[in-house]
Structure 1
Amino acid sequence: MGRCPKGCPGSLSAPLDQSIGITSYQHSSKELVRLGCLLSLFMPYELASWMLSQWSGLSVSSSSLWNWVQVMGNKAYQELEAQLKLKHQVNRLLVKRFQRCCLLCLWPLLLTV
């Protein structure tokens, strides 16, 4: 039985889920995943799993923590790539706009972007 109010088979999402940020097949809150990832950065996965269970009362395996770190790391990498691409585009536009200026005039502008 799914989450559909009409009882449709296979339905794993409801409109209210989307409004409060729950995705299909989601089993853990974003806050729990974030805390698990932060703990895993500073200690081994097994110890992070134990600490997380002590703090939250929820049991999370070390392999789940590893998977969470992989997913969140990929998301962070994609966001960083997008930000760097945007910064590169802005820098190119500034250089085109101020071609008459010397590099010494442009240097402070490039550092602030």
Structure 2
Amino acid sequence: MMPRASRAASGLPPQSLRAITQLGADIALARRRRKIPQSLMAERMLVSVQTLRRLEAGDPTVGLAVLASALLVFGMTNRLADLVASDSDRAGMSEDLARLPKRTRVPAGEDLDF
């Protein structure tokens, strides 16, 4: 049974598809460098060999849990957590800074005794 493609996957821009394809190729390379056969890798990930092949081929319909499982096998789970970490989100930080008030005042009647 073929997986049903989501609208998000079918509408991805070319640069996103290239990035996903590269991610799949990088996962395949990491597996081969560790000399892990696809059958063993799939077993460790708790997925079928076909699902691992789809991940390595850059199939955008492969679920995030499959990617997380592959990273777990490689001992790289922290990389998933760092993808959009707030401390590396320059655009978000710029937006936060733009919303800061230009000046600050002590509210009337407040005692700022440190």
Shared fold by TM > 0.5?
no
Higher relative contact order (CA 8 A, sep 6+): 2
Give the TM-score normalised by structure 2.
0.28
Give the TM-score normalised by structure 1.
0.29
Q: Give the structure with the larger helix fraction.
A: 1
